[in-house]
Structure 1
Amino acid sequence: MKSGNGYVRHLRSLFLSDIHLGTRGCQAELLLDFLNHHDAQRIYLVGDIIDGWRLRKKRFWPASHQEVMNQILERGRRGVELTYIPGNHDEFLRKHTRTRFGCIRFADSIEHLTAEGRRYLVIHGDQFDVVMQNAKWLAFLGDRFYAIALALNTWLNIIRHRLGLNYWSLGSFAKQHVKQFVNFIGQFEDTIFAEIDKRELDGIICGHIHHAADREVNGIHYLNTGDWVESCTAIGENLDGSLEVIRWQGAEQIFARTAKDTETNVAA
């Protein structure tokens, strides 16, 4: 199947989180490009899709943000299973949990069974965030600082672009090199591993910390969807049941994948 100017990749399931529609940092255009080149039998919206925190302060809803919602809802009307698992930024939707609104099912969390028969908890992840659970005011403050960092990052990359340099993420650098961020992510993941082990599941698919991941520890498979503010990542379940992080920088990726698959088939 083709879509506009390229092939569409067919997935069994697609997991998206931390899109933050309603903020200037949202990479809506790149997400639309991603959606145009990916199809799935079911889509999980794993929280912070709409940023209610920011929208309460200032109305910002450009056409590209509405188009993201339109595309997702259109897929639901065509028969794609849509499940919305609200996060902390769209917690106003949590009152709709365990109900259905049109073509969307709402839930606090859900168990996903892969084509391989492995069981995964799908949840936003703020439930495992010590700061969110014990000092919500500090989380709001952190969100404000994050917005400022994104604004600085935008201007920094305008300068880098004029100098002929590639995009560089201040947020991603901090998460990899600043001790406080590294410790926070480690604590978040340790809490998750303990919870999944207790529930006797094979793994978890979550978001919240804007840090995509795919790793296995002591038989527990941990996947984090990342975000559509800086990293532009999602989790895809292939038709054979395997799961992977998809990092999206543009349609050229799918062309490269198609070419690689063609070369493999020819070699075989």
Structure 2
Amino acid sequence: MQRDDAFLRAWRDTAIQPPEPEDDDSARPALRYRTLWISDLHLGTPGCQARALLDFLKYTECETLFLVGDIIDGWQLKRHWYWPQAHNDVIQKLLRKARKGTRVIFIPGNHDEFARKYLNHNFGGIDVADEWIHETADGRKLWIIHGDLFDGVIQCAKWLAYVGDSLYEFTLKLNRHLNSLRARMGLPYWSLSKYLKGKVKRAVSYVGDFENAVAREARNRGAQGVVCGHIHHAEMRDIDGILYCNDGDWVESLTALAEHADGTLEIIDWAQHMPVGTQAVPARETVAA
């Protein structure tokens, strides 16, 4: 199955599902923002923390929502079709937000690069774009890009990226089992792969090189900052006068980038907003036909 087919099949499978019921918002008040950025959901893989993501989408509201790449994982879907009901629910939730007035902008990444053939199209109210310039409420211009074009492995040795992807998926499998156990013990979510990356000097160096390269290009484009994803490492810091923001991911970090009404930016760690015991995704889920 080609990745283009995977994208269309995922969208088709979602479209034929009955509409998601209206939310009961009485349990917790929604957090309201001017803009939200999320990336690296990796829908179509067991590693996607769909339950946490649905909780985030339910209890946040914004004027504009950026989906900054790797939303649907075409690499994994090509190897093995995995599309549980929870992943349908995520797409339904995004489509519903678009219907209710949120501007939703999808910027494809390398795992959903098949969507780049649909640039400047609109799917169910969701705009598809290669990149974007966002102006914050306080007048700063932020360049929005997934970031894979600044990854030397992706650009120069794609076969190595595929190998790394398989090893990463294995680590995430261990992570799911570990967090299922932690949830039963009443302990909060903890990312094994994030911990390991932080301990490996080469990984730390790779992250730093990536961040510097993206910040340099943002400067060249006349932007005051950049928002990206790709490396699964939530961060917000100044790099030589350029505000570098990475919104993290939804397989490890459970993070998003948020803009408040006054233009202030912050990284949201959604694991801190969820009740203990609900963060970890079960090791096995029922797959939608």
Question: What is the TM-score with the length of structure 1 in the denominator?
Answer: 0.89
| Paired AA for residue 262 in structure 2 | D
How big is the shift at 1:70?
Answer: 0.4
Deviations, residues 167-206 of structure 1 (Å, cap 9, x unaligned): 4322111221101211110111111122112222100000
How big is the shift at 1:57?
Answer: 1.2
Verify the 8 A CA contact 1:18 1:48 in the aligned structure 2: yes
Match of 1:82 in 2: 104
Match of 1:27 in 2: 49
- Secondary structure, aligned partner of 2:271: coil
- Secondary structure, aligned partner of 1:228: coil
| Paired AA for residue 225 in structure 1 | D
Match of 2:198 in 1: 176
Number of residue pairs matched by the alignment? 252
How big is the shift at 1:126?
Answer: 0.3
- Secondary structure, aligned partner of 1:6: coil
Question: What is the TM-score with the length of structure 2 in the denominator?
Answer: 0.83
Q: Distance in 1 between matches of 2:184 and 2:50?
A: 23
- For the pair 1:117 / 2:139, whether they are aligned, the reply is yes
Question: Which residues in structure 2 correspond to 1:123-202 (within 5 Å)?
Answer: 123-160=145-182, 166-202=188-224
Q: Judge which range, 71-80 or 94-103, deviates more.
A: 94-103
Q: Distance in 2 between matches of 1:121 and 1:177?
A: 30
How big is the shift at 1:163?
Answer: 6.2
Distance 1:144 1:252, change over 3 A: closer
Percent identity for Structure 1 against Structure 2: 48
- For the pair 1:36 / 2:55, whether they are aligned, the reply is no
**Root-mean-square deviation (Å):** 1.7
Unaligned runs of 5+ in 2: 1-23, 276-289
Distance 1:155 1:78, change over 3 A: closer
How big is the shift at 1:146?
Answer: 0.2
How big is the shift at 1:27?
Answer: 0.6
| Paired AA for residue 229 in structure 1 | V
- For the pair 1:216 / 2:238, whether they are aligned, the reply is yes
Deviations, residues 139-189 of structure 1 (Å, cap 9, x unaligned): 111100000111122233345556665543221112211012111101111
Q: Judge which range, 155-164 or 144-153, deviates more.
A: 155-164
> Which of residues 110, 115, 118 is equivalent to 1:93?
115
Q: Distance in 1 between matches of 2:143 and 2:226?
A: 5
Q: Distance in 1 between matches of 2:144 and 2:62?
A: 17
- For the pair 1:11 / 2:33, whether they are aligned, the reply is yes
Distance 1:198 1:12, change over 3 A: same
Unaligned runs of 5+ in 1: 254-268
> Which of residues 229, 249, 259 is equivalent to 1:237?
259
